[in-house]
Amino acid sequence: MNTISQSMNPTLDLKEARTEHDVHPLIKQRFSPRAFSREALTDKELHTLFEAASWAPSSMNEQPWRFRFAHRGSASFESLRATFSAGNQPWAPNAAAIIAISARTHHERNGAPNATWQFDAGLAVGNLLLQATSMGLHGHILGGFDHDSAIDLLGVDKEKEAIIGLLVLGRLGAAESLPEPYLTRERTPRSRKPVNEIASGI
Ligand SMILES: Cc1cc2nc3c(=O)[nH]c(=O)nc-3n(C[C@H](O)[C@H](O)[C@H](O)COP(=O)(O)O)c2cc1C
């Protein structure tokens, strides 16, 4: 549940999806914020998120995903933060934690390439984000970071594993804490293509 201060944060209402249909509140309330409070997360909160992720479906139940996390204030947080692209630098460091999302690219049982590792890992991250929303937490995925630096930093074996993205995570902060152009983005309602543009009967 949201804390009292978070439930009073006007960004939550502004960012809630205005849907054509009766979509579940958790899905409507998830969004990718840029303003985070500097409140820490507990390991228990993070482990709850990872367990939620682990219950995602995956091809042949291979569960190829892997999550490595760092709390703000740690040396590994600062090292990961240094890999962020210029556009992500000004806002993302306020998050409570950074999660590196990766996946095994080959099947455990026979070493053959796994064609669905990205699909599987994406499903797991979807679970994680909705679980976070249910706990009053928000995550923002970053594709904008230096992959080679992150691979070196995390000691990833490129032959077997690939980093998909970084996820910055925490409790919502005040939009006013952001510099432009991020402040305007934080105050802009979210939008989506209409359902009839993405789905059709055949
Ligand atoms: C694979 C991926 C990479 C992304 N990379 C970035 C990024 O580098 N910087 C950023 O600000 N947002 C990034 N995003 C967040 C998207 O911009 C955001 O999800 C999208 O605009 C929809 O907004 P919403 O999540 O609030 O609904 C990324 C999202 C995904 C799924």
Tens of pLDDT, residue by residue, the chain (202 residues): 444 456 689 999 999 999 999 999 999 999 999 999 989 999 999 999 999 999 999 999 999 999 999 999 999 999 999 999 999 999 988 899 999 999 999 999 899 999 999 999 999 999 999 999 999 999 999 999 999 999 999 999 999 999 999 999 999 999 999 999 999 999 999 999 999 999 999 9
Are 6 and 62 spatial neighbours (Cβ–Cβ below 8 Å)? no
Residue partners of 75: CB distance under 8 A and separation at least 6: none
Q: Probe ligand 1: pick from 141, 167, 193, max atoms within 8 Å of CB?
A: 141
Atom of ligand 1 nearest to the CA of 88: 9
Distance 30 CA to ligand 1 centre (A): 12
**Which residue's alpha carbon is at the smallest distance from atom 31 of ligand 1?**
141
Which protein residues touch ligand 1 with a CB less than 6 Å away? 31-32, 88, 140-144, 165, 190
Select from 80, 73, 102, 99 the least CA-distant residue to 150. Answer: 80
pTM of full prediction above 0.85: yes
Distance 78 CA to ligand 1 centre (A): 21
Residue ranges of alpha helices (H) inside the chain are: 4-7, 10-15, 25-29, 43-54, 75-81, 117-134, 147-154, 182-186, 195-198
Distance of CA 39 to the CA centre of its chain: 17
Domains in the chain, please, with CATH? 40-186 (3.40.109.10)
